[in-house]
Amino acid sequence: MSVLILGATSPIARALGEAYAHQGQAVFIAARDAEEAKRIASDLEVRHQVRVGSGVFDAVKFDEHDLFLDHVESVVGPIDTLVVAFGDMGLPPDEADFASTHRVIDVNYTGAVSVCEASADRMIARGSGVVIGISSVAGDRGRASNYIYGSAKGAFTLYLQGLRNRCFKVGVHVMTVKLGFVDTRLTFGMDTAIPIASPEAAAAAILSAAQRGENELYYPRFWRGIMGVIKAIPENVFKRLSL
Amino acid sequence: MKTNWVPRDIEGWGRYPVVEALVARPERLSEIHAALDDREDDAVLAHGLGRSYGDVATLKGGRVILTSRLNRMLAFDETTGWLRCEAGVSIKEIIDTFVPRGFFPPVVPGTQFVTVGGALANNIHGKNHHVDGCWGDHVRRVELLLASGEVVICDKNNKPELFWATAGGIGLTGLILSMEVQLINIENRYIEMESIRVNNLDEFFEVSAESTSFTHTVSWIDCVKTGKNMGRGIFMRGRHATADVKAPVGTLDRMSSLVQGLADGRPLHSNHLLNRATITLFNEAYFRKTPAGLSSAITDYIPFFFPLDAVDHWNYVYGSRGFLQYQMVVPSREAVREILKIISESGMASFLAVIKEFGDLDHGGLSFPTKGITLALDFPNFGIPLLEMLERLDAITVSVGGRVYLGKDARLSRASFRQMYGEWEKWKEVRDKWDPEHVFQSDLGRRLGLSGE
């Protein structure tokens, strides 16, 4: 059994790698920063004595994704679980130019779709596998502060729905994850009334939800309620708010 | 990406003093470099799990870098036990990973919740000092991020003076990125231990002298009792069990490995809980719970090494004013007697006190352990009367050539420090050579004139 984690240098992705390695699965750690990916892979190897690999993955080099998957499979064997954990928040709207906007769409949507398609094709051919796509609550409703990122993640969520529908018949499972506040650099020092989850708790929840075959996981789970409320606000009211 | 500096209160385990600093928590190696670059001319200090007691890991108004997320294990050699890991890896992580594989850290303090970075920076000791020395004696290589932004690897042959100054260097020589430490082999997770009730200080010294064949020794001591029972306590000695030792079978024994985080001290947060009456009661009960004479037991390593880990945040029971720990080492028994007498007569007696005889291994520099008897005591923060008494204890310690542990300290004077640590100038010369601009500072370092001022 092997797992490929893309964007593995985020604390949540690292915690997921830890959880899979703890189960004895081989783990391939891929990220833009090769040195960092290697450190995380070494950590899993030392702690859990599992087969690991690491390497550079660039979401926007679409042409190379298939070759990259060949390389991963040559190191850790056929990929049973793909975790798409990379993302690019981009710049705030008033600082962003179109080049940065384009990149945000390319990383979060086009790149994610490219590698998911390539990997899903292999899983479909084998008749088994799990795709875990880490999307975002930002994709549930467009907001002034991050609507480029939000729209790309929203599109990714929609893509995962379709992929799930396509894969269901052949025994490949697709799970969408929407994370609320997790204790990472993005929330560090943030003064929030809403509790912040640890990366380890988020990883444990993702792993068990995937094993139960859940389709869409909000974590912490109360975020489904929060986003339910946010989605229910009429557009005429919502456009006046600054959330 | 620009470093996210967050204003935050920083404190040691004694919760005195509490200072405000700008804090960052790097998650990638590149982010610790960025944090050093983004310091905007402020001083910088690394901070691990916050288990040193006073102000050795605080930096008022400066930039504090939390190392907790830089905790990757990088390589391990099963045949030799050498582990290479980042500074934020905790002793608990090492134990949880390696005990099932037959390895144990070479030295452990009284809690598992310390990082290896902090272990080296304070050159910590444990119950086995008389045999195995300090943490730094088991480290062969250190990777250090210097004030210049350059990364260097130092060991006995390569920049040996920087390697020497970093062990016990209280974080003032650079940011420790990673190190190589040698784990020891164990045959199982158990400790063969003996507890001996000692009725006074003379009995302690007798038992201590005949316990040299045990790798681990420590004694709890009652600092309330005066007169002929002064220094009574429970002497504990033990060693890692051999493979043929059978695991304890009782339910309580099996549960003992779970004695971690059973309770939380924070709900007991009060300035009135620990007073002379409750401390006297506690000491009496602790003494009585061990039968007179000698008793032997096979125990899990957790209650033996880390009894205090049973209660999370136990430091909160001392209330909002915090507490001070005083730990000194003196070469003479008479000085121990004199110090104990002052404490027991002061009425500020300590709730938990520990006494141990160190071995000969002395790293020098700012490292604490040296041949002699060490006594560690906690005091609720009674303010001026306590500070005055501790100064009297400093004077006794200085007069016999002893020293106070900087990792526990929050109040030592610069003059006393200089008399206690004969090699401070030699150490400072090395430190200043590698950090001439005094980028690395701490509140303790400023107070003692080591960096900053």
How is chain A split into domains, by residue range? 2-238
Between A243 and B168, the higher pLDDT residue: B168
For residue B161, give both structure tokens.
């003076």
Of the candidates B4, B75, B86, the beta carbon closest to that of A185 is on B4
d(CA B29, CA A39): 9
pLDDT digits (tens, 9 = 90+) for A3-38: 999 998 899 999 999 999 999 999 999 999 999 999
- Residue B146 pLDDT greater than 70, yes or no: yes
Residue B290 pLDDT exceeds 90: no
* Best residue of B4, B27, B97 to probe chain A, by most A CBs closer than 10 Å: B27
**Structure ipTM:** 0.93
* Secondary structure element (H or E) that encloses residue B379, with its range: strand B372-380
Query: Mean pLDDT lowest for which of A212-221, B230-239, B258-267, B423-432?
Result: B258-267
Tell me, yes or no, whether B50 lies in a domain. no
Burial B406-438 (b: 16+ CB within 10 A, else e): bbbbbbbeeebbebbbebbeebbebbeebbeeb
B375 φ/ψ angles, rounded to the nearest 5 degrees? -130, 130
Mean pLDDT confidence for B391-404: 98
Distance, in Å, from the CA atom of B80 to the CA atom of B94, rounded to the nearest integer, reads: 15
> Which of B27, B29, B72 has the CB atom closest to A185's CB atom?
B27
CA distances A116 to A18, A24, A212, B338, Å, are 22, 24, 21, 74
Say which residues have a Cβ less than 8 Å from residue A98's Cβ, sequence separation at least 6: none
Question: What does the pLDDT read at residue A166?
Answer: 97
Interface of A with B (CB under 8 A): 9-11, 33, 35-36, 39-40, 42-43, 46-47, 184-185, 188-189
Residues written for chain B: 453
Which of A14-23, A222-231, B130-139, B418-427 comes out lowest in average pLDDT?
A222-231
Q: What confidence score (pLDDT) does residue B183 get? A: 98
Q: Please indicate whether, in this complex, the C-beta atoms of A185 and B6 are within 8 angstroms of each other.
A: no
Give the model's pLDDT for residue A150: 95
Q: Residue B299 is part of a domain; what is its CATH number?
A: 3.30.70.2520
Q: Where are the alpha helices (DSSP H) in A77-222?
A: 98-105, 112-126, 147-168, 199-212
- Taking one residue from A and the other from B, the number of pairs with CB-CB distance under 8 angstroms is 46
Closest B-chain CA to A43 = B73
Between the CA of residue A237 and those of A138, A243, B62, B181, B389, what are the distances in Å? 18, 12, 45, 61, 67
Does the pLDDT of residue B270 top 80, yes or no?
Answer: no
Q: What pLDDT score does A194 carry?
A: 84
Per-residue pLDDT tens digits for B334-378: 999 999 999 988 888 777 789 999 999 999 999 999 999 999 999
Burial of A226 (0-12, 13-18, 19+ CB in 10 A): middle
Q: Please list every residue in chain B whose beta carbon sits closer than 8 Å to the beta carbon of residue A40.
A: 72
pLDDT score of A167: 97
**Per-residue model confidence (pLDDT) at position B282:** 77
Whether B352 contacts B53, CB under 8 Å: no
| Domain annotation covers residue B389 | yes
Helices A147-168 and A98-105: crossing angle in degrees, nearest 10, is: 20
Distance in angstroms (rounded) separating the CA atoms of residues B299 and B296: 10
Establish if B400 belongs to a structural domain.
Answer: yes
Is residue B152 domain-resident?
Answer: no
How crowded is the C-beta side of A196, counted as CA atoms within 13 Å?
A: 16
Give, for B391, the enclosing helix (H) or strand (E). helix B384-399
B113 domain-assigned: no
pLDDT at position B249 over 70: no
CA distance B440 to B35: 13
Chain B positions touching A43 (Cβ under 8 A) are 72-74
Interface test mutation site (partner A, options B68, B69, B101, max chain A beta carbons within 10 A):
B69
* B76 closest CB neighbour out of A9, A46, A184: A46
Q: Could you identify the residue written with the tokens 């292999």?
A: A122
Mean pLDDT of B87-110: 97
**Does a structural domain hold residue B368?**
yes
Tokens matching residue B405: 């542990």
In sequence order, what are the residues at sequence separation of 6 or more whose Cβ sits closer than 8 angstroms to the Cβ of residue A85?
Answer: A5, A6, A7, A8, A10, A12, A13, A16, A134
- Shortest CA gap A176–chain B (Å): 25
Q: Which residues pair with A57 in a beta bridge?
A: none
Work out how many domains chain B is built from and give that number. Answer: 1
Residue B317 in this model has a pLDDT that exceeds 70: yes
Query: Is B151 inside any structural domain?
Result: no
The pLDDT of residue B255 is: 62
Domain that holds residue B337: 190-412
- Name the average pLDDT for chain A: 95
The answer regarding whether domain A2-238 maps to CATH 3.40.50.720 reads: yes
Return the residue of A nearest to B24 by Cα. A188
Least confident stretch, B89-103, B290-304, B439-453 = B290-304
Contact A189 B30 (CB under 8 A): no
